[in-house]
Amino acid sequence: MSKWTPPERPEWVRQIIDEGRHMDIESLVPLEASELMDTARRNTGFDDFGSDEWREGFDVFIKSVNEEADLHLLGRLMTRSDILRWLEARLGIEAAYAQHPEIEDEIIDSPVVVTGLPRSGTSILFELLAQDDQFGSPRNWEIMFPYPPPEAASYETDPRIERCEHLVTQWNRVAPSYASMHEMGANIPNECIVAMSCTFLSENLPGQYQIPGYNEWYYQQELDYAYAYYKRMLKVLQWKNPRRHWLLKAPSHLGNLPVLLRNFPDARVVISHRDPLVAQASVTSLLGTLYWMRSSQDFDASAFESLMTPEAGSARLDGVVELLESGEVPKDRVSHVLYAQLVQQPLDTLQRLYTDMGLPFSDNSRQAMHSYLAQKPQGKFGKHLYEGDDEQERNRKRALFQRYQQYFGVPDET
């Protein structure tokens, strides 16, 4: 069992949960596959979900949520809203292709993909690179509502932005401590796994719910379909709002580099590196808070071994070393950033990264990144606190991660 302690809930959240305890919430807020699909069709006026590769994951997810997630009333409402948006996104993407087959001819040219351990600085690195106008990143609002395809003329004023802003910041209102862990907003770029949620083959799902049945299924799957469908979405998003190069990000890419490069063969990968012991403790806190938004059940870290245990984590990181050493992932396609250097000398670190990627780092981009950092000092949204280990356990874990830290020159933070 994790050391994580649930944060205090706001009074309005407690009241909704308490009221739900006396209701038949499964009947009031149904999470049933065919009904959800019918509702999504009715909401959009479209009926084509595309090819059926997504259905197995959808069915496994719905079953796990109903049987394992132990959702309270607010959790069921949030979950139903999420699922309908994912289904409606699929319907919209397929409608866009049906109406405009030429979207298929769009080219995703040399995307830059940021990855690394969760909580290793991937978010701030991603947000800084997004200040460079040679890159375009999928923003929360267009991931959430990809249809109709966004247009350059209305990209900053689209009415979907306001709707998305309320929905994504709702997380902070349900669990105020979340704001200190991850900034949310409609115009903030979001992760690939969030966009992949509409494939129902994404780490975003077990990242929000305690669903060990889905977890077990997910980690046995090949992920090419999810990556290929994400590429299909990006073509829709750039059709009327072109991007020179996409800037993409998800920590989960770190364990899927061969799949990523099969589907984005000219991608440039940037890996952010941080002391795994610190990142591991931070992930525990993040996941616990996400689950707490939707359920009151105890957080059982042992049910998420593929994400949580140091043994599994070190195996994944050693796997990255082996991919690079074997040549399965070409070293010249991958750049590396140390979290410690990014925090201490951000602009110098970014200059070295651009040089390594062979991309121009313009004065305008440097100034935009400097301004962004000035508006977002570390700790602006509150300090993210989490518990660490005693010395004996810390030394045990440190030995597991020795190969990774030595190979990439990652300094200890504890």
207 pLDDT exceeds 60? yes
pLDDT of residue 300: 73
Pull the structure tokens for residue 57. 């994951």
397 pLDDT exceeds 90? no
Mean pLDDT to the nearest integer, 297-316: 71
In the chain, what percentage of residues exceed pLDDT 70?
93
200 pLDDT exceeds 60? yes
CB atoms within 10 A of CB 74: 24
What's the rounded Cα separation, in Å, for the pair 172 and 412?
Answer: 31
* Confidence category of residue 154, pLDDT binned at 50, 70, 90: very high
395 pLDDT exceeds 60? yes
What's the rounded Cα separation, in Å, for the pair 137 and 188?
Answer: 9
The set of long-range contacts for 181-185, using a CB threshold of 8 Å and a minimum separation of 24, is 181/282, 181/285, 181/286, 181/289, 181/384, 182/123, 182/286, 183/123, 183/376, 183/381, 184/140, 185/140
**Tokens 């063969």 -> residue:** 265
Pull the structure tokens for residue 308. 């949580």
Q: Ramachandran region of residue 412, left (φ > 0), alpha (ψ -120 to 50) or beta?
A: beta
Among 189, 88, 178, smallest CA distance to 131 is for 189
What's the rounded Cα separation, in Å, for the pair 321 and 323?
Answer: 6
What's the rounded Cα separation, in Å, for the pair 306 and 252?
Answer: 11
What's the rounded Cα separation, in Å, for the pair 271 and 282?
Answer: 18
pLDDT: which is higher, 377 or 216:
216
Pull the structure tokens for residue 402. 């020795």
Question: pLDDT averaged over the chain?
Answer: 91
Structural domains in the chain plus CATH codes: 108-408 (3.40.50.300)
Beta-carbon contacts of 228 under 8 Å, excluding residues fewer than 6 positions away, are: 263
